[in-house]
Chain A
Amino acid sequence: MTQLPESTDRKMGLVIDLDTCVGCHACVISCKGWNTENYGAPLSDQDAYGGNPSGTFLNRVHSYEVQPEQGHAQLVHFPKSCLHCEDAPCVTVCPTGASYKRVEDGIVLVNESDCIGCGLCAWSCPYGARELDVTEGVMKKCTLCVDRIYNENLPEEDRVPSCVRTCPAGARHFGDLGDPNSDVSQLVAERGGMDLMPEQGTKPVNKYLPPRPKDTIESEIDILAPLLAPVAENPGGFMGWLDKALDKLPGGDA
């Protein structure tokens, strides 16, 4: 049913650390690897080795440059997948009941055998978290690896979403964001975790940890400055002669 549950027993989700993410895209690949051969239809590619490749992914990593008023620009790598919103617009717009939010853990899923591929849920998601698979004609999205996290056939350390398990930097955390004492909730509280596009009213469960402020190493650089001073501002000897000779050539000081 595409009515949203009043509340969910738990709010399972991800906490993504924008300070730690190095933008290696390992989570993108591991997500595609796991999900193309497990829950639901495979994640197809079109023209994968040709001139115009495209394909279905459930997780993608953007990179942004932030230029503060003062100081240097900062590069932020930004992984994005379904945020398993509490007020998920993608669920209520679905005409078939294929999209639903689970009461037990808050995971938003698509029942692919009911999906008619109308695309309306993707239209309603502000985050671009849903992609219609061209080959299958059904909607694909992050399942929070629902087929891993409760899977008793896997060793315990593997019972987390594939992206979390793979991230070499430890930038992705998984847990119950509905429990204020959980590790993830404490991390969010400590680091000022934030919502994406809060004005859209989706109440995302996934949280993003902002990059930590840069330390101000500029004021201390003087200590090493003498050692780093340029060796020759006005070179003499052979280099000096060469410098002047080159300057004299036409177009030399262009």
Chain B
Amino acid sequence: MHPAPSVIVFTTLSGLGFGLLMFLGLGLPAVTGWVAFVFFLIAYVLAVGGLLASTFHLGRPERAWKAFTQWKTSWLSREGWCAVVALLVLAPYAAGLVFWDQSFALLGFIGALFSLLTVFTTSMIYTQLKTIPRWNMKLTPVMFLSFSIAGGALLAGQIDAAIALLAIAALVQLAYWKLGDQAFANSGTNMGTATGLGSRGAVRAFEPPHTGTNYLLREFVHVVGRKHAAKLRVISFTLAFVLPILLMWFSPHHFAAVIAVLSHMAGIATSRWLFFAQAEHVVGLYYGKR
């Protein structure tokens, strides 16, 4: 799949933003006044910034509101609803903490729940696609959720929780890569089933339908950069998990925390880039590619 910057930025930032909102909604850390203001500002900027970035890849962003209509069937529509509900419900909760030193715990809890649901619905947009075996795995939502919760703990300054949650997320990441690498072969879709000619012999793409490129090849058959995948995995894993855990473990101070957060964000963005760039769509088979 084409790793569109808008979608990578969106899933990385909003994943972290909603992760932080979830902790804040649960009253972790129990802050009020200016400190609460700064925490909520960071969370809203990440979550809303991410959502805005996601509209950049639309062909017709001016009609984006129509995406709220099909929540009965569409995960994308459900994601829109969960995000809006989370952001709206947490606004008065945040105002209570910032201005009146008041915690409307029920609102906070509902907001936290919808923040979690937002991340889950985002992950389901990818998980539901049978056409992309690497995404069509139960582990995909687990990965999105574990990243978001770990990142949220890190941003919320929950040191002990962050260390444990980052370790869990790191294990999920490893398992996702391991299973993902076998997913296409295990899906049962190959050039034989794509053309229906597999029972007759070995099928080879002889001539493509067009001499130039097209939307399908640009969007679904991204092979450039895959060759660096192994190196990028190491970089991503180090930045997203190893470095933040070490920093939190040995020097849980403000400056180290900032470095840990930036390192984590860069690592997650790299992991997301790989999530897209390494995902092979079955339509590539019609072009004799993966």
Contacts and interface: CB of A to CB of B under 8 A. Distances in A.
B213 interface: yes
A69 B201 CA distance: 6
A241 B101 CA distance: 110
Contact of A2 (B61, B70, B130): B70
B66 interface: yes
B197 interface: yes
A67 B201 contact: yes
Interface in A99-131: 114-120, 122-128, 131
A200 B130 contact: yes
B60 A117 contact: yes
A34 B220 CA distance: 27
A79 to B, nearest CB: 9
Contacts of A52: 212-213
Contact of A118 (B76, B128, B201): B76
A66 B193 CA distance: 13
B86 interface: no
Contacts of B105: none
A74 B72 CA distance: 47
B141 to A, nearest CB: 16
B205 A97 contact: no
Contacts of B187: 199
A167 interface: no
A31 B69 CA distance: 32
A97 B201 CA distance: 41
B74 A95 contact: yes
Given A62-B205, A120-B76, A124-B129, A1 B214 contact: no
Q: Which of A1, A52, A57, A95 has the most CB of B within 10 A?
A: A95
A74 B206 CA distance: 11
A195 to B, nearest CB: 7
A119 B276 CA distance: 15
Contact of A96 (B63, B191, B194, B202): B63
Contacts of B35: none
B137 interface: no
Q: DSSP majority for the A interface?
A: loop
A121 B131 CA distance: 11
A157 B131 CA distance: 38
Interface in A181-219: 194-201, 208, 210-211
Interface stretch (B39-47, B163-171, B223-231, B280-288): B280-288
Contact of A131 (B125, B193, B216): B216
Given A28-B209, A201-B130, A116 B73 contact: no
Contacts of A60: 209-210
A226 interface: no
B200 to A, nearest CB: 5
Interface stretch (A6-14, A133-141, A144-152, A242-250): A133-141
B251 interface: no
B196 A1 contact: no
A124 B131 contact: yes
A208 to B, nearest CB: 5
B196 A210 contact: yes
B214 A2 contact: no
Interface string B124-135: 010011111000
Contacts of B216: 122, 128, 131
A50 to B, nearest CB: 10
Contacts of B70: 1-2, 94-97
Nearest to A1: B70
B63 A93 contact: no
A210 B201 CA distance: 13
A110 to B, nearest CB: 12
Nearest to A136: B59
Interface in A60-105: 60-69, 73-76, 78, 80, 89, 91-98
Interface of A: 1-3, 18, 25, 28, 52-57, 60-69, 73-76, 78, 80, 89, 91-98, 114-120, 122-128, 131-134, 136-139, 194-201, 208, 210-211
Interface of B: 1, 57-61, 63-64, 66-70, 72-77, 80, 125, 128-132, 187-189, 191, 193-197, 200-216, 219-220, 281-283, 286-287
11 contacts: A2-B73, A53-B212, A54-B210, A62-B287, A64-B191, A93-B76, A97-B69, A116-B60, A125-B131, A125-B283, A131-B216
Q: Pick the 7 closest A-B CB pairs, nearest first.
A: A117-B59, A137-B59, A68-B201, A60-B209, A95-B67, A128-B283, A95-B76
